């Protein structure tokens, strides 16, 4: 899946890209199991075609898009983003896709639309992890409309120049680089515009640990661990690699800081 | 069976077996065979083995009573010291690989995070037990006081499960926690039952 270099500010970090094997064999995708090796192991039979995405709610032009329409909707760009997991590890991943804003402009949100809800696939026949009761399925994530409209918020169809592997959220997923990884829903089937803050999966499951915003923030600790530093996967001497300092908004503060001007980020964590 | 277990090579063999998980984990870590996040895999692996050895050492007394193999009591001290050994490696790996031996990060972490506090407390108790694990300590303390102190291993079991439970609470993954809670609960429950049973005249 080819993409041209993105012109969006901050969209291409020059840091060393994480090895393809690490990015595709070590990740979370609970629909396939809770272990980091489960997504790759149990998503082999998953069928990302045919695929449709319903866009509905407070918009002028609600519509069901086929994956082929979405692939053609805007020019594919390559974006090299830092990815920071809430668990304290990070990677650098070259994604292929375009800003979600391109899609949002097409459906024209109404003035009353304040939030966007992203619903992901929950198909028991293909996803063995759904048998566990860890989360309320389907997995739902959400953003404020202005966050979703930010040019860095990416609708990704590929990574490392290829179409998305099943375990990384095929055929399309969200990537919000300044938020913890779980905010970026995988295998999207529905995008809904609402006037109320969406009830997101992790927030429903453990509200005191996972806030709606979940912006990467080294100053706001998770109740169980500090978020001040992170382990960059594959960096240095493996076992003895030093952790690096976590950056405010995962290093995207110049681009997204103004979205949160005047907000108490400890309260809205 | 008892005759076989009393052979002179059995205890040294058991000792070697008990060291294997440590060699295997640390070796795999150094050879970069622990996956994408080797530090995490090593820290968690050492924690798992601490719990497993805790189950083993608490199995000694019930096993002796039910099988009559008095020889297993001679392994109890060694197994107990292996609990301390794995707990210490677990703590060392956390302090080194996660915290970089940075006390400015480490000390607040111990105070602020209940699951770390509980883990440290359990390790402190194990340290006290390991430090008084030789014969002269028993003599110096008196057998009764020594035994009372060493009942702290029951508290270590409870704290160990709590530590694991709280760590997993972030992701609500309680399957493995339930297994260790059930095993250790059964081993502690057996002691309550045994004591009660002994008081009732047959």
pLDDT tens-digit series, residues B21-56: 999 999 999 998 999 999 999 999 999 999 999 999
Domains held by chain B: number: 1
Residue positions counted in chain B? 202
Phi-psi region of A90 (alpha: psi -120 to 50; beta: other; left: phi over 0): beta
A134 vs B: CB within 8 A? yes
Assign A113 to helix, strand or coil: coil
pLDDT at B42: 96
Query: Is the pLDDT confidence value at B103 over 90?
Result: no
Cα dihedral B198, B199, B200, B202 in deg (nearest 10): 50
A interface test, pick of B37, B38, B45 with most A CB neighbours within 10 Å:
B37
Please tell me the distance in Å from A46's CA to the nearest CA on chain B.
Answer: 24
Contact yes or no for B40 and A25 at CB 8 A: no
Question: Chain A 188-217, CB below 8 Å of chain B: which residues?
Answer: 205-206, 209
Predicted local distance difference test score (pLDDT) of residue A125: 96
In angstroms, the separation between the Cα of residue B158 and the nearest Cα of chain A is 19
Window 90-129 of A, Cβ < 8 Å to B: none
Mean pLDDT by 10 residues, chain A (269 residues): 92 95 96 94 96 98 98 97 96 98 98 98 96 91 98 98 98 98 98 97 92 97 90 86 94 98 95
Q: How confident is the model at residue B172 (pLDDT cuts 50, 70, 90)?
A: confident
Tell if the CB–CB gap between A89 and B40 is shorter than 8 Å: yes
Contact yes or no for A108/A135 (Cβ under 8 A): no
CA distance B177 to chain A (A): 14
- Enclosing domain of residue B106: 2-199
Q: What are the structural domains of chain A?
A: 4-255 (3.90.420.10)
Q: In this predicted complex, what is the ipTM?
A: 0.84
| Averaged pLDDT, B84-99 | 95
pLDDT at A133: 81
pLDDT above 60: residue B65: yes
pLDDT score for B201: 59
What pLDDT score was predicted for residue B200?
Answer: 62
pTM above 0.95, yes or no: no
Interchain CB distance below 8 Å, B105 and A209: no
Cα–Cα dist B7/B4, whole Å = 6
Q: Which residues of A touch B39 (CB under 8 A)?
A: 231, 239, 241
Asked if the Cβ–Cβ distance from A206 to B172 is below 8 Å, we say: yes
In this structure, the number of other CB atoms found within 10 A of the CB of residue B111 comes to: 10
Give the gap in angstroms from C-alpha A75 to the nearest C-alpha of chain B: 33
């Amino acid at each position: 899946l080819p993409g041209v270099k993105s012109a969006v500010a901050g969209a291409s970090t020059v840091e060393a890209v994480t090895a393809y094997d690490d990015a595709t064999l070590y990740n979370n995708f609970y629909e396939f199991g809770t272990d980091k090796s489960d997504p790759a192991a149990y998503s082999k039979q998953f069928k990302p075609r045919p695929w449709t995405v319903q866009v509905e709610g407070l918009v002028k032009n609600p519509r069901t898009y086929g994956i082929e329409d979405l692939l053609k909707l805007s020019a594919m760009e390559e974006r090299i983003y830092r990815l920071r997991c809430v668990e304290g590890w990070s990677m650098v991943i070259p994604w292929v896709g375009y800003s979600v804003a391109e899609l949002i402009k097409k459906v024209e949100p109404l003035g009353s639309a304040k939030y966007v809800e992203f619903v992901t696939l929950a198909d028991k026949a293909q996803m063995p992890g759904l048998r566990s009761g860890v989360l309320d399925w389907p997995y739902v994530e959400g953003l404020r409309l202005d966050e979703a409209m930010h040019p860095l918020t990416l609708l990704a169809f590929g990574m490392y120049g290829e179409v998305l592997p099943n375990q990384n959220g095929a055929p399309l997923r969200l990537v919000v680089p300044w938020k913890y990884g779980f905010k970026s829903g995988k295998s999207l089937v529905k995008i809904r515009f609402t006037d109320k803050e969406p009830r997101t999966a992790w927030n429903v499951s453990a509200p005191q640990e996972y806030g709606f915003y979940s912006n990467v923030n080294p100053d706001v600790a998770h109740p169980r661990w500090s978020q001040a530093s992170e382990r960059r996967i594959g960096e240095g001497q493996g076992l003895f690699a030093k952790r690096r300092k976590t950056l405010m908004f995962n290093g995207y503060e110049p681009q997204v800081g103004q979205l949160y001007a005047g907000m108490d980020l400890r309260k809205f964590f | 069976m008892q005759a076989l277990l009393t052979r002179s090579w059995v205890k040294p063999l058991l000792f070697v077996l008990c060291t294997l998980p440590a060699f295997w984990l640390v070796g795999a870590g150094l050879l970069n065979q622990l996956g994408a996040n080797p530090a995490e895999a090593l820290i968690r692996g050492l924690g798992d083995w601490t719990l497993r050895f805790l189950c083993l050492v608490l199995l000694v007394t019930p096993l002796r009573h039910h099988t009559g193999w008095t020889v297993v009591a001679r392994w109890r001290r060694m197994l107990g010291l292996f609990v301390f050994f794995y707990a210490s490696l677990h703590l060392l790996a956390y302090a080194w690989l996660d915290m970089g031996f940075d006390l400015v990060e480490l000390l607040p972490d111990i105070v602020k995070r209940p699951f770390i506090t509980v883990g440290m407390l359990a390790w402190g108790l194990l340290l006290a037990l390991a430090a008084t694990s030789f014969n002269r300590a028993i003599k110096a303390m008196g057998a009764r006081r020594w035994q009372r102190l060493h009942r702290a291993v029951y508290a270590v079991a409870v704290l160990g499960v709590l530590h694991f439970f709280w760590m997993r609470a972030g992701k609500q993954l309680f399957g493995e926690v339930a297994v260790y809670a059930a095993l250790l609960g059964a081993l502690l429950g057996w002691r309550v039952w045994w004591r009660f049973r002994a008081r009732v005249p047959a």
